[in-house]
Amino acid sequence: MRLRFTKMHGLGNDFVVIDGISQKVKLSPEKIRKLADRHFGVGCDQVLLVEVPNNPDVDFCYRIFNADGSEVENCGNGARCFARFVRDRRLTGKSEIRVQTASGQMTLKVRSDDQVSVDMGVPKLAPAEIPFQADAEAPEYILELEDGSRLSIGAVSMGNPHAVALVDDVDTAPVASQGPQVEAHSRFPQRVNAGFMQVCGRSEVRLRVYERGVGETLACGTGACAAVVSGIQRGLLNEQVTVHLPGGDLDIQWAGPGQPVVMTGPAANVFHGQVKL
């Protein structure tokens, strides 16, 4: 099968974006892994597949696959790149786009300054909805890791699951050693994205994320949202926060429980290509 694709990134979190509307696409986990492979394929953190929606209330459906082939519920940087993709490919002329993902519906706004603003929906904090094994909902939980260390984390779902640990300095945070242990922790039955957040002030944090199904990425949109939600729940942050990720900055706003998280940031095209799968 020959596939046309566009390589894109949101702050260095990179994607192979495929128009599944004008081309017939059948993607298996092993085809996804091949596409995402940085030596034997095109190379990306996630593959995004744009499809015709089966719901009249939305303009598009888009599916998200991690580099390991797993399909996931939500992707923040991917949502911004999706919005730029469907406009650049003239699949829509709208600047406000409603899209269906596996975790629900989102509204994306492509702004005149080329930034994309995404209503990421209402975060879920109840353990059963994350999912995370805990007796009751709390702003912090203690996670016993395999190496014997104990990590205090916040647990948040942005449609996809996130654990958020506080660190003094992200540059020296044990992302490589603790990230995989958190990602695969038995208390997260669907695994989890592991964020390491340094609070710089009530409106500014630094964040690194070891992503479920990928490893550490240069940026994680849902991870930035989850980190701000957890920071606010822990009483450390205001409603509007600048999140400094290794690949760049996101603006995150959350007015509190029951309210949606709004994420604003860039989306970039890199190149168009074709690949034989």
Is the N-terminal amide bond of 123 cis, ω within 30° of 0? Answer: no
Whether 225 is catalytic is no
- 212 marked ligand binding residue: yes
Shortest distance (Å) from residue 215 CB to ligand API: 9
- 269 marked ligand binding residue: no
- 221 marked ligand binding residue: yes
Map the footprint of ligand API across residues 214-243, applying CB under 6 A.
Answer: 214, 217, 220-223
Distance CA 6, CA 19 (A): 9
Amino acid (1-letter code) at residue 44: C
Amino acid (1-letter code) at residue 151: L
User: Binding of ligand API at residue 212 (CB under 6 A)?
Assistant: yes
Sign of torsion over alpha carbons 150, 222, 159, 119: positive
Q: Angle, nearest 10°, between helix axes 76-88 and 221-233?
A: 140
Shortest distance (Å) from residue 214 CB to ligand API: 5
User: Binding of ligand API at residue 160 (CB under 6 A)?
Assistant: yes
Q: For the chain, report the end-to-end CA distance as a whole number of angstroms.
A: 5
- 160 marked ligand binding residue: yes
Residue with tokens 């919005």: 83
Binding part of the chain for ligand API, among 70-78, 124-132, 168-176, 269-277 by CB under 6 A, reads 70-78
Is the N-terminal amide bond of 161 cis, ω within 30° of 0? Answer: no
Chosen residue from 6, 13, 101, 230 binding ligand API by CB under 6 A: 13
Residue with tokens 């916040």: 154
Residue with tokens 């958190």: 182
Decide whether 223 or 231 has the Cβ nearer to ligand API.
223
Decide whether 46 or 230 has the Cβ nearer to ligand API.
46
Whether 75 is catalytic is yes
Decide whether 24 or 189 has the Cβ nearer to ligand API.
189
Residue with tokens 């964040």: 207
Chosen residue from 85, 211, 230, 237 binding ligand API by CB under 6 A: 211
Task: Decide if 16 contacts 81 (C-beta within 8 A).
Answer: no
User: Binding of ligand API at residue 101 (CB under 6 A)?
Assistant: no
Shortest distance (Å) from residue 184 CB to ligand API: 12
Q: By the criterion CB under 6 A, which residues form the site for ligand API?
A: 13, 45-46, 66, 72, 75-78, 160, 193, 211-214, 217, 220-223
